[in-house]
Structure 1
Amino acid sequence: MIFVSNSISRQKILGLVGITLLFAACSSVKEFPIDKPFVFSNKISLKNNVGKDEKKRLTLELDNYWDDSLKARKVQQFGFIYRLKTPPVYDSANISRSRGFMNAYLNSQGYYYATFKDSVTIDSVHVKERISGILSKRVPMVQLRTNIEFLIDVGKRITIDSVGFAMIDTLHKPIDSTLQNITLAQATYSLLKKGNPYSKQLVSDELDRLAYLYRSNGYYNLNREDIYALADTLDTKLLTLSIDPLAQVQLINEAAKARKEDPKWRFTIMLKNSNDTLKLKQYHIGNLYYYPDIKNVYYNADSLIARKNFKTSVYKNGVMRFDEDKFGFRPLREHTYLSRGGLYDENAYYKSINKLNQIGSWKQVDAKAVVRPNTDSIDIHFFLLPAPKQSWGIDFEGSRNTGDIGSGNLLGLATNLTYKNRNVWKQAIQSITQARFGFEFNIDKQVANAAPKPFVQTQQLTVSHSYSFPRIIQPFKNWKWLNDKINNLDNKKTIFSAQGSYTNRIDYYQLRSLNLNFGFDYTKGNVSTQFRFPNIELYKVDTLAGLIQLFKDNPFLRNSFRNGNVVGVSLAKNILFSGDDKSKIHNIRLFAEESGLLTSFLPNISDQIFSYLKLEGEYRYLKKYTKDELALRAFVGAALPKNGQTIPVFKQYFVGGPNSMRAWGLRQLGLGSSLSADTSTSGYTDRFGDFNLEFNTEYRFLLATIAGVKVGSALFADIGNVWNIRQDPNNADATLSLKNFGRDLAIGVGTGVRLDFSFFLIRVDFAYKLKDPARVANNGWTDFRNFEWTDTRLNGVKIKNYAFQLGIGLPF
C-alpha cells in the first residue's frame, strides 16, 4: 500500500505511476552477445485485407514460426515484468528460413498468394554490465539490439467451390456402392462446405470424420490412410479450345486475375484402389467375452483369450470368464453398446470401454477385437481390472478469516471420515458412508458493551450414506420411447441417499435435520443433469437464550428459525463447453428447487411444510494463457417464499469468507446496506438473505517454482451482497430494491499467495473493502485522501476494512 501526502499533486502521482509502469514494461537483457547484434524483438504486421478476428488469429499463430535462431524469447516474471535472457546473435540468413516457415503455415490455412517484406533496425543502447570477476563496479557496454519486422500481405484465402465423393473401388467387379451410399447419406454433415475457407486441417478433419463413419458401419479394416482428398485448382475456362493465340493469352490472364482476386478450388473425396479385398468387407459382432477380475495391469490379452481353465457363465448377451465370483453380469450387459449379430461399430466399441470405466468398480477397462478367420465376424474381449472393493479415507479441512466484529475472526476446522464400497451385492453399486465433525472457533477480541462470545462458536456433526446404482431405475419397462431416451444417456446413475446432521450454534440455536432423497444423475453430450424426486428434509430448531433475545429486538427473524419440513423436487443442469478456442472454458450451472406443491393438497400436513421456490444460475469462465489465467464467476440466487411464508434460515444465502466476498468475514456482509447487525450488541452478527448476487474475477499468475512447489499469486475483485426479498418494516435497508441497488453493492479487491502442491493448494488472500454498503461516509466508497484501516460505526464500534482469508483450493 502506498501512502500519499495531501501536498503531492495528482499530476505528480499519475506521472510517478506512469514511469513505474513504463519501467515495468521494459525488458531487461541478460547474457547478451558482446559487440554483436542480437535479436531483441520480433514483430509481425498484416495488411488490412482480412477481418479483425482473422488478423488477430494469424498474427498470434505466425509468431510461433520464427526460426529459433531469429526468435527473441522473453520470460514473464511477477505477472508484468519481461526479461530477455541469452538472446541469439542476429544472422540475416535466417530471414529466409523464417519466411519459409510462415509461408508454409499460411499455405496450410488456405493463403497461397502471400507476399513478404522484412524490416531490420539495429539500436545501440548503452548499459552497465557486471563482468565476472569484477565485484566493485559495472563496466559500460553497448547493446546492439536488432528489431525484426515482417510486413505480410496474405492475399485472398482459398474458398471451397464444390465438394464431391467417389468412394468406389473400380479394381474389383462387381462394383460395390455400399460405401458410397453410406457417404452420401451423411453428406450433410461434411466439414467441407461450398463457399467456406479452405485449410489443410479442415480437409484432414473431414477425412477423419469419414474414416470414423466407415468404421462405425462395419468396415473394420478401412483406415484413414485409405481415403484422400483431390483438390482441382484448374480454371475450367482454360479448357476452352481456341486457335487464336491472343484469345488464349486473354483467357490465361483472366484466369490469373480470378485466381488472385477470388481463388476457388474443387474437392473430391476418393477411395484409394487396393488389392486387399478385406478393406471393403463389412464385419458383424460375434461373441462378447468379459474378464471382470483381471489380477494385475500387466496381463497378456492373448494368453487370457487362449486360457481354458476359467470359470464360465454364458448369457444371451455375452460370456463371463472369471476366477472368483465377484461380479454379476447385469452391469456389464447394461454398459455394453455392442450386440451379437450387429455391425461392428467403433463408436459403440469405445463407448462401451468408457462407460464401464466410469462405473467406478473397475480402475482399468480395456478391450480387444479378434477377427474370426475366413468369416465376417469379430469377437470382442473386455478385460476389467477391479478397483479395491472397500476403502477408507480421512481428510482435514481448515479455514481462517479475519474481518468484522462478532464472528468476523474465525478459525474453522473439520474432519471427514469416508468409507466406500465399490461393488455392493456384486452389481457394481457404489456405496459411500461419511461422517463429518466440524468446529468454528471464535478467536476475535471481545467488543466493548457486547455480549461475551464463547471460544467454540459452532459445533457440527453430519452422517450420510448413499447408494449409486449404475443404471436408471424406473417402473415403465414397456414404454419404448422412454427406454430409447434412457439408452441414449451417458454415465446414468440412480441415487438414493440419507443424511442426518446436528448443528449447535452456541447460546443461540440447535438444528437437527434428516434428509432423504431419490433421483437420477446422467449426462447427455456436454450437459450433466441431477434430478431428485422426492426430496424430503425434516428440520427441528431449538431456540436458546441468545436467539430468544434477538427475537425480541427483531421479531422478523422468528419466522426464519421455526420447525418445518421440505417435501419437493430439485433439478440441476451443468453445461461445460469450450468452443473453437480450447484455451477458453465456459461453465453454466442452473438449479431449481421446489417445496410445498405436492403437499398443498393435504391440509393436515401442509402447515408443517416449508413452501418456497429456489432458483439459481451461475456462470464461470476460465481463459488459460501460457503461465497465467483469467477466471470470472457470476452468480445469482433467489429463494422465493410462497403462501405468505418466510424462507427458513438453512435455505437462505450468506457471503463472506475465503470463497466468497473475501474482504468480509464469514456471514458478515449484508443485508443490503442495513446497519442492524453491525451495531448489534448481542454478539450474534450472522447475516442470511433470500437473494444473492455476486461477481468475482481473478487474474492468476505464477511467481516461481521452489522445490517442485508452484508459488503463484492473484489479483482479484469481488462484487455482491445478500438481501431480503420480503419487506421488513423494522429493517427497510435489508430489502432488495432497484432504488438502492447501487448503494447496496459491496466491492472488495485484493491479492494473495497460492502454494500449489499438485495434490492440494493452500491459499492466503488479503482483501480490502473498496466499497462497503454499511460505511456511512462517502456513499460507502473508500476515501483515499483520508485512508483508514478501520471504520467507525454510528454506535462507536470499530470495523476492520480488510480481511485475511486462509483457504484450501481455488475460490472458484
Structure 2
Amino acid sequence: MSYCRQVTLSRVRPAIVPAILIFALFSCTVPANFQYPQGKPFVFKTTIRVEGNIKGDEKQDLVQKLENQLDDSLQAKTVTSFYKPFYFVAKKLSYTPVYDSAYLGRSIVFMNALLNANGYYAPVIQDTVIYETVHKGKIKKTGKHKGFSKEQQRVIIHFTVKPGKQLVFDSVGFSLNTPELQQIAITSKDQSFIKVGKPYSRLVLASEINRLVDSFRNNGYFRFSKEDLYVEHDTVFSALIDPSLDPIEQAELLEKLKQKKENPTVTVVLRQRPVRDSSHLKKYFIGNVTVFPDLPIGEDTVAVHTDTTLINQIKFISRTNKFKLPFLANNIYLY
C-alpha cells in the first residue's frame, strides 16, 4: 500500500488576498496612452461628503443627487479595465477634462438649487481643491509615444456639504375660486401627496398639482391644466415688512419666526389663478359613443357592408358576428 500527500503551492499569502482585491477594485489610474491633457491640470477625482444628522440611506441618496448636479467638466468618469500580465482589475479614467475654476462655482450653484428644492433653505457648501503633480519632468523614452511628457497635473476636488435643518410641511390648504373645484379638492384631500410632518420638496408640490388636475379632469373639467394652479407658501416673512402692522401682531410674527428658525416648517396653500380661458372651467359631458368591434386597420369602410346596433345608448358598427355585442355593452362604463 502506498501513501501520498497533497501539497499546495501558493505565491501569495492568503491573508493579503482581500487587500489585493480591494486595492484592485477601488484603485484609479489615468489612461496609459497619454490621453490626459499635456501640461494642463485635469480633474482626477471629485468627492462629495454630506455632514449632518441624516439617516444613512437618505444621506447616500442625497450624495447621489448632488453628484448628478456636478458640472460635466468636474465629473471624473471611470471604466473598469484589465491590466496585463497579471490581469488585475482597476478603474481607469475614461475622460480627463481640463480643470476650470468656473465649473466649480457652477456646480455649487446647481447643488444649492437642489438642496433648496428639497427643503434645505440654508445649506453650506465648502470646496477644497488639491493640486498634485505626478511624474514631474519625466519623458517617455520608448514606444509609440516616445517624447511625450509623463508629467500629470492632477486636480482632486472635495466638497463638504452641510445641508442644515430641513423644512417640513406644517399644514396644507386649498383656496380655489370655483366652488365645485374647491369641493373636489377638499373631498380628495386624503389622497394628497403633501403630508404634515414630512420633508418639504418641490417635487411633492408638483405631484400634488398634477394630482389635482387629474381629479378635476376626471370630474368633467377636461381642459383644466396645471397652469391654472399655483402654490403659495406661508407669509410670515413678508408680513414682517408691512408698515401698517400692529406692534402686537409684529411681536407674534417675530415669535413665530424664531420658532421656525429652531424647527423650520412651511405652510402651503394651493390657489387658483385668475381665469384666462373660460373653456378651462367648462364642464364637459360624454356625448355619443360609437364602437367598432371588428374593424381591421387600414380598411376602406365605404366598400364594406356593416350592421348598426344600439345597446345602452352605445352604437356598435360591426361587419361580422364575431363578438357578442350585449357583453361588450355591459362592460363599457361611460354612462
Range into which the TM-score falls when normalised by the shorter chain:
0.7 to 0.9
Q: What residue in structure 1 maps to residue 128 of structure 2?
A: 119
Displacement after TM superposition at 1:335 (Å): 4.1
Does residue 318 in structure 1 map to residue 323 in structure 2?
A: no
- Structure 1 pair 233/181, CA: closer, same or farther in 2 (3 Å)? same
Task: Pick the structure with more strand per residue.
Answer: 1
Q: Are the equivalent residues in 1 in contact too, given 2:140–2:150 (CA < 8 A)?
A: no
- One-letter code of the match for 1:149? H
- Structure 1 pair 220/136, CA: closer, same or farther in 2 (3 Å)? closer
Task: Pick the structure with more helix per residue.
Answer: 2
Q: What residue in structure 2 maps to residue 161 of structure 1?
A: 170
Does residue 51 in structure 1 map to residue 55 in structure 2?
A: yes
- Structure 1 pair 338/77, CA: closer, same or farther in 2 (3 Å)? farther
Q: What residue in structure 2 maps to residue 484 of structure 1?
A: none
Q: What residue in structure 1 maps to residue 198 of structure 2?
A: 196
- One-letter code of the match for 2:165? K
Displacement after TM superposition at 1:166 (Å): 1.3
Does residue 283 in structure 1 map to residue 284 in structure 2?
A: yes
Secondary structure, in 3 states, of the residue corresponding to 2:246? coil
Q: Matches of 1:100 and 1:6 in 2, distance apart? A: 59
1:165-188 deviation per Cα after TM superposition (whole angstroms, max 9, x unaligned) = 11224xxxxxxx222222211212
1:761-806 deviation per Cα after TM superposition (whole angstroms, max 9, x unaligned) = xxxxxxxxxxxxxxxxxxxxxxxxxxxxxxxxxxxxxxxxxxxxxx
Bigger radius of gyration among the two:
1
TM-score (norm 1): 0.36
Displacement after TM superposition at 1:255 (Å): 6.4
Q: Matches of 1:68 and 1:275 in 2, distance apart? A: 41
Q: Matches of 1:135 and 1:223 in 2, distance apart? A: 63
Identity over aligned residues, as a percent? 32
| Equivalent residue for 1:144, pick from 150, 153, 156 | 153
Q: Matches of 1:236 and 1:146 in 2, distance apart? A: 44
Q: What residue in structure 2 maps to residue 98 of structure 1?
A: 107
Secondary structure, in 3 states, of the residue corresponding to 1:22? helix
Displacement after TM superposition at 1:259 (Å): 4.3
- Structure 1 pair 198/20, CA: closer, same or farther in 2 (3 Å)? closer
Q: Matches of 2:42 and 2:197 in 1, distance apart? A: 45
Aligned length: 318
Displacement after TM superposition at 1:205 (Å): 0.7
Q: Matches of 1:56 and 1:307 in 2, distance apart? A: 65
Secondary structure, in 3 states, of the residue corresponding to 2:287? strand
- Structure 1 pair 256/70, CA: closer, same or farther in 2 (3 Å)? farther
- One-letter code of the match for 1:242? P
- One-letter code of the match for 2:324? G
Q: Matches of 2:104 and 2:239 in 1, distance apart? A: 39
What does 1:681-720 align with in structure 2 at a 5 Å threshold?
none
Q: Are the equivalent residues in 2 in contact too, given 1:69–1:94 (CA < 8 A)?
A: yes
Q: What residue in structure 2 maps to residue 333 of structure 1?
A: 329
- Structure 1 pair 101/36, CA: closer, same or farther in 2 (3 Å)? same
Displacement after TM superposition at 1:87 (Å): 0.9
Q: Are the equivalent residues in 1 in contact too, given 2:304–2:319 (CA < 8 A)?
A: no
Displacement after TM superposition at 1:328 (Å): 3.1
Q: Matches of 1:77 and 1:334 in 2, distance apart? A: 62
What does 1:731-746 align with in structure 2 at a 5 Å threshold?
none
Q: Are the equivalent residues in 2 in contact too, given 1:103–1:114 (CA < 8 A)?
A: yes
Q: Matches of 1:41 and 1:136 in 2, distance apart? A: 25
Q: What residue in structure 2 maps to residue 347 of structure 1?
A: none
Q: Are the equivalent residues in 2 in contact too, given 1:75–1:84 (CA < 8 A)?
A: yes
Does residue 183 in structure 1 map to residue 179 in structure 2?
A: no
- Structure 1 pair 325/118, CA: closer, same or farther in 2 (3 Å)? same
Secondary structure, in 3 states, of the residue corresponding to 2:49? strand
| Equivalent residue for 1:242, pick from 243, 247, 265 | 247
Displacement after TM superposition at 1:7 (Å): 6.1
| Equivalent residue for 2:230, pick from 225, 228, 231 | 228
Secondary structure, in 3 states, of the residue corresponding to 1:209? helix
Displacement after TM superposition at 1:125 (Å): 2.3
Displacement after TM superposition at 1:323 (Å): 4.1
Displacement after TM superposition at 1:296 (Å): 2.6
1:45-69 deviation per Cα after TM superposition (whole angstroms, max 9, x unaligned) = 1112333332121111101110011
Displacement after TM superposition at 1:139 (Å): 5.6
Q: What residue in structure 2 maps to residue 206 of structure 1?
A: 208
Displacement after TM superposition at 1:221 (Å): 2.1
Q: What residue in structure 1 maps to residue 66 of structure 2?
A: 62
Q: Are the equivalent residues in 1 in contact too, given 2:45–2:76 (CA < 8 A)?
A: yes
Q: Matches of 1:214 and 1:307 in 2, distance apart? A: 42
Secondary structure, in 3 states, of the residue corresponding to 1:286? coil
| Equivalent residue for 1:34, pick from 33, 38, 63 | 38
Secondary structure, in 3 states, of the residue corresponding to 1:141? coil
Q: Are the equivalent residues in 2 in contact too, given 1:74–1:85 (CA < 8 A)?
A: yes
Displacement after TM superposition at 1:137 (Å): 6.6
- One-letter code of the match for 2:224? L
- Structure 1 pair 332/125, CA: closer, same or farther in 2 (3 Å)? farther
- One-letter code of the match for 2:229? I
What does 1:99-498 align with in structure 2 at a 5 Å threshold?
99-126=108-135, 134-135=143-144, 141-169=150-178, 177-235=179-237, 238=240, 241-242=246-247, 257-296=258-297, 310-330=306-326, 332-339=328-335
Give the unaligned 5+ runs of structure 1: 170-176, 340-812
Displacement after TM superposition at 1:95 (Å): 0.8
Q: Are the equivalent residues in 2 in contact too, given 1:160–1:264 (CA < 8 A)?
A: yes
- One-letter code of the match for 1:292? P
Q: Are the equivalent residues in 2 in contact too, given 1:235–1:255 (CA < 8 A)?
A: no
Displacement after TM superposition at 1:267 (Å): 1.0
Q: What residue in structure 2 maps to residue 18 of structure 1?
A: 19
Q: Matches of 1:136 and 1:50 in 2, distance apart? A: 49
Greater relative contact order (CA < 8 Å, ≥ 6 in sequence):
2
- Structure 1 pair 136/308, CA: closer, same or farther in 2 (3 Å)? closer
Secondary structure, in 3 states, of the residue corresponding to 1:284? coil
Q: Are the equivalent residues in 1 in contact too, given 2:236–2:257 (CA < 8 A)?
A: no
- Structure 1 pair 86/192, CA: closer, same or farther in 2 (3 Å)? closer
